[in-house]
Amino acid sequence: MGPNTQHHVLCMLYFTSMRITLPLVFEMLHALALALWIGADAALVILVSAGAAAMHTVVVRELAVIEISAIAMIGIQFLTRHRYKKSRTLYVADGIRHLLTFTALLLAAYIMNSVKEKSVGVMESSAIAYITAGGQIALLTAVSGITVWLLVVSTRIAATAAASAPTAMQAPAPTRNSLAPARPVRKRGVKR
């Protein structure tokens, strides 16, 4: 085996392992960002219902965590979107997941604007924060359900494709013509 062949084999192994490993890393980061976002919303609901004295600073801190998690989730969803292009159902479900994530981010921005606005009283602002944080939790629960469904279905599709792919044992036997040496190509207009 020559050095070019060894290099080719190593490159194939590297890219195959990256194609398998990288989506798993992205899905774990997506799950982590989703858990942080839901946790920040739950903490926001608890603090608002308890009537935190310094609600403005608490909400600003929680919303910073929410925005960072949202940006991470949206970026990871964008990077992994190409995996679902082969199946229309998976592609549409991933689009719905994007839509729900952006809607939850819009609700987070609405909380931030209602807290910053001076004309809204503390009671109204805490009610808005409570309701929209609950809405975010509901939307993110739907996002997590769609994410789990996408992972299960895409894993089944990959397992089915791997099972139906021919292996070396299933390769067809060579025919008589495939073993024969190739004939030289005759050029037109040249006589021998």
Contact 66, 108 (CB under 8 A): yes
Kindly state the tokens that stand for 39: 């946790």
Q: 139, 149, 169, 128: which is closest to 73 by C-alpha?
A: 139
Q: Rounded distance, CA 146 to CA 136, Å? A: 15
* Residue 86 DSSP label: T
67-116 tens-digit pLDDT: 899 999 999 888 888 888 888 999 999 999 999 999 999 998 888 787 77
- Give the type of residue at 15: F
Tokens 């159902």 correspond to 89
pTM above 0.85, yes or no: no
- All domains of the chain in start order, with CATH: 17-161 (1.20.120)
